[in-house]
Amino acid sequence: DDDERGGINTKVEKVLTIGGLIIGAIIICILIYVVASAAGILDFGGGQKKDNNTQQEESIDEVSDKVEVPDLSGKTEEEAQELVKEQSLGMQKAGEEASETIAEGLICRQDPVAGTEVDKNTQVTYYISTGKAAEEKVTIPTGLIGKTLSEVQSQLQALGLNPKIEQQKSSDVAVGNVISLNPGEGTSVAKNTEVTITVSVGEGDTYETIPNVKGMPEDQAVSAVKAVNLIPNVEYGDSDSAGVDYGDVYEISPQAGKKVEQGTIITLKVRKEQTETTENNGQETESNTQTGSDQSGQKDLKIEQPSNYDGQQLVRIRLVSGADSANAGADDGTVLLQDQVVTFTEDTNGKMVYNLGKVEYNSGDVLYFDVQDSSGDYSAIWSYNL
């Protein structure tokens, strides 16, 4: 019996020993896992999740650093300061400039433009409006009252003004001559201003028959119309069916033979050869195209006689580039001719012209016609837009 009990005890002891070892091993594994996890040695997906969360947080931070530039146009500097401050932006004045739409003293331009996404703390530069650009002024010449309508129209158009004709009965002023101007002589006005020319129609209540001047040279036709107390208004053009020579009248309006009240304006269309032309603020000048231009880009250039040049004074002619013309001084530009009396001759169209010869110029350049005064100084009396 004692032997049997001894064998049983030995087996129990073995089982307990093995069980203890297993439990101890499990405890050791648990301890190792806990320590390793705490040290970050083991990671079963948690680290990746953490990284993803970190990346997402960084992405959110990046997005939050971008802001939209507000619209500062038409705002005062104080109002603009509040707007950029709300967006965590800065602002800096870059200068001033004219604006046709934004009132003086308000912001008219900005960079970056409104709506652009930028980083916080970006500087927005801006420009302050000085208002509309100053209009170019011209002075209505004196000595126009009493001149013929065509003379006055020509001079006003040469200054870039827009003549408007009104007729008035007068027993003192000859038919076709100017009674008054509005604005008046000597007035300083902006270019393109409308100037009303009041022209005499005589005493009125007298009717005349429009003469048939078709086919006549311009000067003869004008004289014939004036002879019956009507007012000639010459226009130039061309037509394949004109049926007359260049320089002759090819159309009359109202029609010839019609009875009209004295002082009625009669439009005479004179046939004119189509050449390369430029306008001097409404005054037409010519550039001869028969010879064309040579390889250097030069062209034969003709100019018409200014209505206020008497043919006696010394002349200087200057060429000023279009970019510099707005601020050109009295002596600026390239002198093409100086200290000469210019003699104008009549061309085939009945115009008094002077050929400057070959001149190299660009579209938009300006030609100034200066005359010398008693002190020897030159001043411009005419200009031609090329």
Q: C-alpha dihedral over 260, 167, 310, 328, to 10 degrees?
A: -130
The helix (run of H) or strand (run of E) holding residue 335 is strand 334-340
Q: Which SS3 state, helix, strand or coil, does residue 172 take? A: coil
Contact 124, 111 (CB under 8 A): yes
Question: Which of 3-17, 184-198, 300-314, 332-346 shows the lowest mean pLDDT across its residues?
Answer: 3-17
**Residues with Cβ < 8 Å from 250, sequence gap 6 or more?**
214, 215, 239, 242, 243, 244, 269, 270, 271
Can you read off the two tokens belonging to residue 256? 């010839």
Q: What burial letters (b/e) apply to 25-42, b meaning 16+ CB within 10 Å?
A: eeeeeeeeeeeeeeeeee
User: From the CA atom positions of the chain, what is the Rg in Å?
Assistant: 46
- Pairing mode, if any, of strands 117-119 and 66-68? antiparallel
> Kind of pairing, strands 334-340 and 315-320?
antiparallel
Q: What is the DSSP string of 7-18?
A: HHHHHHHHHHHH
Would the pLDDT of 232 be above 50? yes
The chain-wide mean pLDDT, for the chain, equals 80
d(CA 328, CA 333): 8
Among 3-7, 123-127, 132-136, the minimum mean pLDDT is found in 3-7
| Res 193 pLDDT > 80 | yes
pTM of the entire predicted model? 0.41
- Cα(239)–Cα(347) distance, integer angstroms: 20
Average pLDDT over residues 186-195: 89
Element (H, E) at 223: helix 218-227
Pairing of β 276-280 and β 283-287:
antiparallel
Residue with the larger pLDDT of the pair 61 and 261 = 261
Tokens of 332: 């600026």
Most confidently modeled range among 43-52, 100-109, 346-355, 371-380: 100-109
**pLDDT band, residue 252 (cuts 50/70/90):** very high
With beta carbons less than 8 A apart as the criterion, state whether 351 and 311 touch: no
Top-confidence residue, 194 or 360: 194
Segment 209-225, tens digit of pLDDT: 999 999 999 889 988 99
CA 221/CA 234 separation, integer angstroms: 10
Residues 6+ apart with CB under 8 A from 96: 127, 128, 129, 130
- Residue with the bigger pLDDT between 282 and 179: it is 179
List pLDDT tens digits, range 150-164.
888 888 988 888 889
Q: Cβ neighbours of residue 186 under 8 Å, at least 6 residues apart? A: 139, 140, 142
- 50 has a pLDDT exceeding 60: no
At 110 the pLDDT is 93
Say if CB 150 and CB 178 are below 8 A apart.
no
Tally Cβ neighbours within 10 Å of residue 48.
10
* Confidence check: pLDDT of 346 > 70: yes
From 6-10, 220-224, 242-246, 306-310, the region with the lowest mean pLDDT: 6-10
Q: Is the pLDDT of residue 67 over 90?
A: yes
Other C-beta atoms closer than 10 Å to the C-beta of 315 total 20
